[in-house]
Amino acid sequence: MSKTEERDLGDAGAQLSTAPTENPADQAIGGPTLSVVGWVRWFWRQLTSMRVALILLFMLSLGAIPGSLVPQNSVDELKVQAFKKQHDLLTPVYEKLQFFDVYSSVWFSAIYILLFVSLIGCIVPRSWQFVGQLRSRPPGAPKRLTRLPAYTTWRTETDPEQVREAALAVLKKRRFRADAAGDAVAAEKGYLREAGNLVFHVSLIVMLVAFATGTLFKSEGGKLIVEGDGFSNTLIQYDDFKSGSLFDTDELVPFSFSLDSFTGTYAKDGPQRGTPRTYEAAVTWSKGDGPARKSVIEVNKPLEVDGTKVYLLSHGYAPVVTVRDGKGKVVSSGAVPLLPIDSNVTSTGAIKVMDGYRDKNGKKDQLGFQAFFVPTFAGAGHGDMFSQFPGLEYPVLALTGYHGSLGVDAGLPQNVYQLDTRKMEQFKDADGEILKQRLRPGETMKLPDGAGSITFENEVKEWASFQISQQPGNGWALAGAIAAITGLIGSLFIQRRRVWVRAVRGADGVTVVEMAGLGRAESAKLPEELAELAVTLNAQAPTAPEPVEVPAEGAEK
């Protein structure tokens, strides 16, 4: 229905929506020619319009794209550093655009805040207007019902008062909000359309608030745990930890858990060979000084303790190695976790001996070994040393040894999975070649000149990486999303419409019944619904027979 038609129908065509009316002066090219206050008012009307809110929502969606495609400092700084090393040209551009910190960037925050203000400025007046509509009566019938898009009429011998009473009963039975006024009955239905519209927009605000709460008060950290080791939820226990600007470390939930075992099984044949079939971590956990409990953590099935969730992220192997000096003294022994580089868990890492080792002359020294591990080795002469299967079918550990300074005494942070060889020297064999060797479980690599040995023990432990996350806004965000979908369905599929029934006595004493309907949008359902109502009402106020024409005296028969 056009604005002109709405004005012609008066109150009957007004307020079918809670959308704010537009001031024609505001639509003039170049904006209003007003004072500063007028410009502020114009800007506020534009900001709180539905059109601008949709534009801002679309911009927010576009802004989230680089946050999904580009590594984020808030998620994984190592990936960010690797990306910067690989993309020298893109890095300075991305840094200026704040693409590595999208969700805390100035431009994303500006869109976020403007959308928040726009939604509130749009919803508050519409909510009051909607409440006013609910408390008011349906508008009276226009003078000429024939101008409405759905219209029908008939004549009946039933009294007008009886027709109006019957119409009121029929409309109320069909869940219309009906009221008799003068010679007509006015009815309205479909208020849930506007209610759904408001619920949708309120839900967007709830989701925005939940997102902001989760960002400001969240905590998120990672921990790699080898079978048999444990974790306590304190700051120093994390491998990496990030939190929102308003998070207090005193809010960390006091609990601990240990990794009893990791179980991973894989498809051994067919096109899905190597695909995980079982992927779970058995843990023993306790809250504070409470009793120990057993749980199994699976992908997308975290352990939850008072709002803190422990997610299983990844898995790998930790070969058990023993390092001895030239006198046979054990200087290092234990499982060494290595990081996977492909889906078949081909893994790399470093074995570092920082203390306790002395060379053949009794001088303190440090050892380092670059390690390359495959759980299933294809065999010598079958290409490069890459794993053929993620399960432990034929484990092999390849080592290259160094001695010298590991660089840890400088006090600078160092990646435990990488070996800094700038101040180290490679071991060489009797022929002057670089000393490197592939070891099977139980085998030993001898270091030259009585420098000692390293043994790959008959045990390969498994490790699991966990993400410990506390994000208070998740529940509200989920509730807001469900409510938004529900409200959107209501606003799209429920039609706001009005029906009027007028019954007046004609000049010949026969009652003339008129029925008309008006909807928020053009729809074929409105005429159909009006026809059903007319049929029902016609059964109680049947059509009067047509008057018999009496021939004039002297007319030919």
Task: Kindly tell me if the per-residue pLDDT of 155 is higher than 80.
Answer: yes
pLDDT value at residue 17: 58
The confidence band for 557, taking pLDDT boundaries of 50, 70 and 90, is: very low
Could you tell me which of 103, 296, 129 has the C-alpha nearest to residue 208? 103
Task: Kindly tell me if the per-residue pLDDT of 125 is higher than 90.
Answer: no
CA distance 418 to 434: 19
pTM: 0.68
Strand partners, 165: none
Task: Kindly tell me if the per-residue pLDDT of 229 is higher than 90.
Answer: yes
Other C-beta atoms within 10 Å of 165: how many?
A: 16
The confidence band for 29, taking pLDDT boundaries of 50, 70 and 90, is: very low
The contacts of residue 340 (CB under 8 Å, 6+ apart) are 314, 315, 316, 346, 347
CA distance 142 to 184: 10
Mind listing the pLDDT tens digit for each residue in 274-330?
A: 999 999 999 999 998 889 999 999 998 999 999 899 999 999 999 999 999 989 999
Strand partners, 503: 513
pLDDT value at residue 20: 56
Percent of the chain exceeding pLDDT 70 equals 89
> What type of residue sits at position 221?
G
Tokens of 436: 């490197």
Determine the 3-state secondary structure of 486 from DSSP: helix
Task: Kindly tell me if the per-residue pLDDT of 23 is higher than 70.
Answer: no
Mind listing the pLDDT tens digit for each residue in 352-387?
A: 998 889 888 888 999 999 999 999 998 766 667 889
Mind listing the pLDDT tens digit for each residue in 412-426?
A: 566 788 888 888 999
User: Which long-range contacts (C-beta less than 8 Å, at least 24 apart) are formed by 110-117?
Assistant: 111/56, 111/59, 111/60, 111/63, 112/60, 112/208, 112/212, 114/47, 114/56, 115/53, 115/56, 115/57, 115/60, 115/208, 116/205, 116/208, 117/47, 117/48
305 class by beta-carbon count within 10 Å (0-12 exposed, 13-18 middle, 19+ buried): buried
The DSSP secondary structure of 396-416, one letter per residue, reads EEEEEEEEE--SGGG-----T
Mind listing the pLDDT tens digit for each residue in 166-222?
A: 999 999 999 999 999 889 999 998 888 888 888 988 898 898 889 888 888 889 899
Least confident piece of the model among 15-29, 495-509, 518-532? 15-29
- Largest distance between two CA atoms of the chain: 150
CA distance 196 to 317: 53
Task: Kindly tell me if the per-residue pLDDT of 516 is higher than 90.
Answer: yes
Least confident piece of the model among 131-140, 427-436, 445-454? 131-140
Residue 173 dihedral angles phi and psi, to the nearest 5°: -65, -30
CA distance 11 to 139: 6
Element (H, E) at 466: strand 452-470
pLDDT value at residue 259: 97
- Look at strands 308-324 and 452-470 and give their pairing: antiparallel
Give the residue with greater pLDDT, 26 vs 448: 448
Give the residue with greater pLDDT, 33 vs 195: 195
The confidence band for 46, taking pLDDT boundaries of 50, 70 and 90, is: confident
Task: Kindly tell me if the per-residue pLDDT of 44 is higher than 80.
Answer: yes
Least confident piece of the model among 196-200, 408-412, 457-461? 408-412
Mind listing the pLDDT tens digit for each residue in 239-282?
A: 888 888 888 888 899 999 999 999 999 999 888 899 999 999 99
Please state, rounded to an integer, the average pLDDT across all residues of the chain: 87
Residue 84 dihedral angles phi and psi, to the nearest 5°: -65, -35
Task: Give 379's DSSP letter.
Answer: -
CA distance 39 to 32: 7
The contacts of residue 28 (CB under 8 Å, 6+ apart) are none
Give the residue with greater pLDDT, 213 vs 537: 537
Mind listing the pLDDT tens digit for each residue in 54-90?
A: 899 899 889 889 988 998 887 777 788 888 988 889 9
Tokens of 377: 């080795």
pLDDT value at residue 333: 95
CA atoms in the 13 A half-sphere facing the CB of 464: 29
Mind listing the pLDDT tens digit for each residue in 517-527?
A: 998 766 678 89
> What type of residue sits at position 469?
S
Average pLDDT (228-244) is 91
Strand partners, 498: 188, 518
Dihedral angle at the C-alpha atoms of 520, 524, 528, 531, nearest 10 degrees?
70
CA distance 187 to 498: 6
Could you tell me which of 515, 507, 508, 522 has the C-alpha nearest to residue 541? 515
The confidence band for 393, taking pLDDT boundaries of 50, 70 and 90, is: very high
pLDDT value at residue 38: 82
Average pLDDT (222-227) is 95
Burial readout 415-441 (b: 16 or more C-beta within 10 A, e: otherwise): eebebbbeebebbeeeeeeebbbbbeb
Task: Kindly tell me if the per-residue pLDDT of 446 is higher than 90.
Answer: yes
Average pLDDT (406-414) is 69
How many residues are given for the chain? 557
The confidence band for 410, taking pLDDT boundaries of 50, 70 and 90, is: low
Query: Are the C-beta atoms of 278 and 421 separated by less than 8 Å?
Result: no
pLDDT value at residue 351: 95
The confidence band for 331, taking pLDDT boundaries of 50, 70 and 90, is: very high
Element (H, E) at 39: helix 36-47
Tokens of 482: 């469900």
